[in-house]
Amino acid sequence: MSPSVPNGYLGSEARITRGPAREMVEAGYAAEIADAALLHHGLGLADLVHLLTLHEMGVVPDAAASELACEILQITQTPASAFPYAPVYGDAYNSRERELERRLGPTAGWLHTSRTRREAGRIAFRLALRDQLLDLHEAVAGFVVALSRQACAHADTVWADNTYLQPAQPSTFGHYLGGFGEEVSRHLDRLESAYALADRSPAGVGGVGGPRLPFERERLADRLGFASVGAHTRDAMWAIDGVTDAALAAVHSAITADRLAEDLEIFTSPGFGYVSLDPSLCRASVLMPQKRNPYALAVVRATASSLIGKATGLLVTARTPSARTDNWLHTYGEVTQALELGRRVVALTAEAVRTLQVDEAALRTVAGAHFTGSADLAEELVLRCGVDYRSAYRVVGRAVADAVAAGQTTLTSADLGRAAKALLGHSLALGDRTVQETLDPERIVATRTVTGGSAPERVREHARALAERAADAAQWRKRQRVRIRSAEDRLLSEARALAEGRQRDAGNVL
Q: Long-range contacts of range 7-13, CB-CB < 8 Å, 24 or more positions apart?
A: 8/98, 8/101, 9/88, 9/89, 9/98
More confident residue, 285 or 465: 465
pLDDT in tens, 250-277: 999 999 999 999 999 999 999 999 999 9
Chosen domain end from 116, 151, 179: 116
In a domain, 505, yes or no: no
3-state secondary structure of 170: strand
Residues 264 and 155 in one domain: yes
Residues 124 and 100 in one domain: no
Residue closest to 91 by CA, chosen among 341, 310, 331: 331
Q: Considering only the C-alpha atoms of the chain, give the largest distance between any 2 of them, rounded to a whole number of Å.
A: 114
158-163 and 166-172 strand pairing: antiparallel
Q: Which are the contacts of 44, defined by CB distance < 8 A and separation ≥ 6?
A: 72, 73, 75, 76
In a domain, 452, yes or no: no
Is-contact 63 505, C-beta < 8 A? yes
Span 346-350, mean pLDDT?
98
The backbone region for 275, taken as left when phi is positive above 0, alpha when psi lies in -120 to 50, beta otherwise, is beta
Cis peptide before 202 (omega within 30 of 0): no
Q: pLDDT at position 285, please?
A: 81
In a domain, 496, yes or no: no
Residues paired with residue 158 on neighbouring β-strands, in sequence order? 172
Confidence of residue 6 (pLDDT cuts 50, 70, 90): low
Total-model pTM: 0.92
Residues 21 and 86 in one domain: yes
Is-contact 226 200, C-beta < 8 A? yes
Q: pLDDT at position 15, please?
A: 65
More confident residue, 166 or 325: 166
Is-contact 141 474, C-beta < 8 A? yes
Q: pLDDT at position 507, please?
A: 43
Distances (CA, A) of 425 to 27, 74, 255, 384, 412: 79, 93, 51, 18, 19
Confidence of residue 5 (pLDDT cuts 50, 70, 90): low
Residues 339 and 210 in one domain: yes
Q: Which of 5-14, 19-28, 50-59, 117-126 has the lowest mean pLDDT?
A: 5-14
Domain region containing 408: 373-446
Count of residues in the chain: 510
Work out the mean pLDDT of the chain and round it to a whole number. Answer: 93
pLDDT above 60 (res 336) = yes
Span 21-40, mean pLDDT?
92
Q: Which of 7-11, 266-270, 272-276, 453-457 has the lowest mean pLDDT?
A: 7-11
Is-contact 203 221, C-beta < 8 A? yes
At residue 284, what are phi and psi to the nearest 5 degrees?
A: -80, 150
Q: pLDDT at position 504, please?
A: 52
Q: Which are the contacts of 358, defined by CB distance < 8 A and separation ≥ 6?
A: 150, 154, 157, 173, 274, 275
Confidence of residue 171 (pLDDT cuts 50, 70, 90): very high
Q: Which are the contacts of 302, defined by CB distance < 8 A and separation ≥ 6?
A: none
Pairwise CA distance, residues 459 & 461, whole Å: 5
CATH number of the CATH domain containing 422? 1.10.40
pLDDT in tens, 176-191: 999 999 999 999 999 9
Residues paired with residue 357 on neighbouring β-strands, in sequence order? 276
DSSP symbol at 28: I
The dihedral through the CA atoms of 220, 45, 135, 245 has a sign that is negative
Q: pLDDT at position 11, please?
A: 44
pLDDT above 80 (res 59) = yes
DSSP conformation letters of 84-135: ---GGG-SHHHHHHHHHHHHHGGGGGGGGTT--HHHHHHHHHHHHHHHHHHH
Residues 170 and 26 in one domain: no
Residues 209 and 345 in one domain: yes
Q: pLDDT at position 208, please?
A: 83
Share of the chain above pLDDT 70, in %: 95
The dihedral through the CA atoms of 263, 183, 131, 236 has a sign that is negative
Span 109-136, mean pLDDT?
96
Residue 159 half-sphere exposure toward CB, CA atoms < 13 A = 24
CATH number of the CATH domain containing 22? 1.10.275.10
In a domain, 508, yes or no: no
Is-contact 421 445, C-beta < 8 A? no
Total domains in the fold of the chain: 3
In a domain, 234, yes or no: yes
In a domain, 383, yes or no: yes
Angle between helices 173-198 and 456-509 (to 10 degrees): 30
In a domain, 100, yes or no: yes
Angle between helices 36-56 and 217-224 (to 10 degrees): 130
3-state secondary structure of 395: helix
| CA 146, chain centre distance (Å) | 16
Residues 171 and 304 in one domain: yes
Span 416-445, mean pLDDT?
94
Residues 220 and 347 in one domain: yes
pLDDT above 70 (res 105) = yes
Is-contact 346 271, C-beta < 8 A? no
Residues 358 and 482 in one domain: yes
pLDDT in tens, 369-406: 999 999 999 999 999 999 999 999 999 999 999 999 99
Q: pLDDT at position 1, please?
A: 38
Residues 331 and 250 in one domain: yes
In a domain, 339, yes or no: yes
DSSP conformation letters of 226-252: -SEE-SSHHHHHH--HHHHHHHHHHHH
pLDDT in tens, 279-314: 999 998 888 888 889 999 999 999 999 999 999 999
Residues 236 and 139 in one domain: yes
Residues 191 and 103 in one domain: no
Span 446-466, mean pLDDT?
97
Confidence of residue 3 (pLDDT cuts 50, 70, 90): very low
Q: pLDDT at position 373, please?
A: 95
CATH number of the CATH domain containing 361? 1.20.200.10
